[in-house]
Amino acid sequence: MAISSSTAILAVNIHQDSAPIRSEQRFQIPLFGKTSQFKCIESGGFKLPKRTQRHVVSKTNESLLSNLAAPELGKQNEQENEESSEKRRLAGCWREVAGANDWAGMLDPIDPILRSELIRYGEMVQACYDSFDYDLYSSYCGSCRFIRRQFFQELGMEDCGYEVSRYLYATSTANLTKFFKKSRWPKVWSESANWIGYVAVSNDETSARLGRRDIVVSWRGTVTNLEWVEDMNTFLSPISADKIPCPDPTVRVESGFLDLYTAKDKNCRFCKYSAREQILTEVKRLIEMYPNEELSITMTGHSLGSALATLSAYDVVETGTNVRSDGRTVPVCVYSFAGPRVGNMRFRDRVERLGLKVLRVLNIHDIVPKSPGLFFNESMPRVVAKVVEEQPWCYSHVGVRLELDHKSSPFLRPEEDVGNAHNLEAHLHLLDGYHGKGQKFALTTERDPALVNKSCDFLQDHLTVPPSWKQYENKGMVRTKDGRWILPERPKLDDHPDDMHLYLSKLGLSS
């Protein structure tokens, strides 16, 4: 595997995540697998999209990168990885990767196919951030910068193998107001809506590699700004209070998450249906569209988005939306990145009883996974838990956790910065170098560490990657033929499909 060296030049492409570092000389770095982990990943059944195939930084890193090859791990690990990748294909083990056995034996040491899948789904969440308009001086602040049909192409992810079937919106009249972005201009695309994610479906070629057709729901969260944490209500609310059916009235979830998921504004064309109604109808429609195919439903998100992924996955399973007309059940899996606690211990028990699989990826120095329920949570002694578990301020995580530590990466600064520790790109970088507890950090793909500094300042200074380097050319301003600078009108965004009422009716939901 050749990785660039020599003098590094930052070349920020403001429309796509093209490689920010260029150089001329090259040197070889021995990574895991026969030549690289890419060979293992491809033989595992899925090729990472182009946007993950970046070259690493500058000449100053040559010795560092050589050290990261970790030759001392020995030929035994290489042989084991090679044999494992040759014997296994993602198409044949996707159920295990999706948690059929609760990821037993796959986390320590980490299974290479699972690692590549986690990075792949993490990239699909990162796409939400890279396409979201954060500019308060844009009339489109709070929307997606691209139309649905060109979403992955605009992001340089045309090889990801998925097509976006619909966009998701939530109303900013809900709680968690600091999560929403609003333009300062008087004329805006929507007075009360924010774009919060998308639903995508794997195409035929990718479905063949995956071993099934995959329905992905990707939820937007927050990059580094954690002000929304202050909005979290200390108390839990019964999940059945917001028309999410549950036979146990003691099942409770954080009220802000529940409000965001179920709130709607009938006066807004984007939010006249709640996020819940948008998700359930689209999942129902897609399952009916592929009646004779093997299907999977993958919910994923980062930060607040991971809470919504968990809540929506629970909803799909609890309502039986994932059950086909012939009684077959479509498996549902959640890949959560840096997510907070969502509900109480009864919610956890209900999730387990329903067979919903949740894998939580977290940085042990991140405060968000420790919230809410900082003091009263699943780690309490059993004696204490029996006393307080029914209280409206006692929370519990769900699923299985995969712990990462940013101090293990020699690329990252070791200090505990709240925003940096929560950054999604940093989590993907840590996954790339993670092999198991106590094992040396060693990168396994060509995923560029420079991506970590896309929206933060986390990389070591000697790597010479500027902080927050991703910018958009002239903030979207373009020059007209007569020399004037303007913000051009964007194509009209999709709101909701015409058959929403049909699927609401099928699900027994009022419109």
| Cα 475 versus chain centre, distance | 26
Nearest of 128, 377, 171, 351 to residue 275 by alpha carbon: 171
218 is catalytic: no
Sequence-ordered list of residues with C-beta below 8 angstroms from that of 148, at least 6 positions apart, any chain: 164, 166, 167, 198, 493, 494
Residue type, 321: T
Q: What are phi and psi of 316, to 5 degrees?
A: -60, -45
432, 434, 440, 444 alpha-carbon torsion, rounded to 10°? -30
Catalytic entry in 130, 214, 366, 448:
366
Quote the Cα angle for 312-315-316, to 5°.
Answer: 90
Tokens of 241: 């209070």
CA distance 505 to 298: 24
Catalytic entry in 5, 58, 303, 409:
303
Tokens of 30: 């021995």
Catalytic entry in 302, 365, 397, 422:
422
Contact 454, 19 (CB under 8 A): no
Nearest of 212, 215, 211 to residue 162 by alpha carbon: 215
Please report the beta strands in 145-258, taking only residues with DSSP state E, as ranges in sequence order.
162-171, 193-202, 213-219, 236-238, 252-254
365 is catalytic: no
Nearest of 261, 273, 157 to residue 219 by alpha carbon: 261
CA distance 185 to 232: 28
Instruction: Provide the β-strand partners of residue 197.
Output: 168, 219
CA distance 269 to 266: 7
Residue-by-residue DSSP string for 66-126: HHHT-GGGHHHHHHHHHHHHHH--HHHHHHHHTTTTTTTTTBTTBPHHHHHHHHHHHHHHH
15, 21, 26, 29 alpha-carbon torsion, rounded to 10°? -90
- Please report where in the chains the tokens 């924010």 appear, as a residue: 194
CA distance 138 to 146: 14
303 is catalytic: yes
CA distance 115 to 60: 28
Nearest of 420, 454, 447, 453 to residue 432 by alpha carbon: 447
- 195 CB-contact burial (10 Å; exposed 0-12 / middle 13-18 / buried 19+): buried
Residues carrying an active site annotation = 303, 366, 422
